Amino acid sequence: MVILNSGSTQRNPMTTLEKQTRKSLAVYPGTFDPITMGHMDIIDRALNLFDKVIVAIAINPGKKPLFSLEERIQMVKDCFPSDYSRVEVDTVSGLLVQYAADKKATAIIRGLRAVSDFDYEFQLALMNKKLERHVDTIFLMPGFRWIYISSSIIKDAARHGGDVCELVPAHVNQNLIELFKKQ
């Protein structure tokens, strides 16, 4: 785990009561097209650090997702029991760090698979820190079992008939099979 903190020790002043009753909240953004076991692993790891995680499904007009926004929301929600109060699924468009601040999150979670991810993610984290100094970026690596997977690789394998059943939740695998049967 890598935590980006600009070195500033000044924080929002909180009373002791506020500190005792405050629930820690993090935002885990992504397109989740589709959600993978790597994403699930990052969410589980984040829940070891935070009381609640918002899985924020990004609306990016520059990307052409395989699944609709509604399908992606439902696939993520289906990963968690309906009574699972520690994970919230939401959508985000616009400036992520502003969304996190509006939600009163203390951190943005970013998954890193390889060193090559770090360069870009580090630049984003620094910009976010500049824009909103009270929101930290925390980089988490998925377990070794999932470190090589991405939604893009999974979609490509599934599109060509590859078996990805161990790399995505069962309902996501079924959605991929059904979608690619139609094409």
Catalytic residues: 39, 63, 113, 151
Token digits of residue 91:
């959508």
Q: How many CA atoms lie within 13 A of 158 on its CB side?
A: 28
Tell me how far CA of residue 127 lies from CA of 96, 134, 139, in angstroms.
Answer: 11, 13, 15
Q: β-strand 136-140 against 52-58: which pairing, if any? A: unpaired
CB environment 18-37: b (16+ within 10 A), e (fewer): eeeeeeebbbbbbbbbbbbb
Q: Tokens 């520059």 sit at which residue?
A: 62
Nearest to 38 by CA among 151, 137, 116: 151
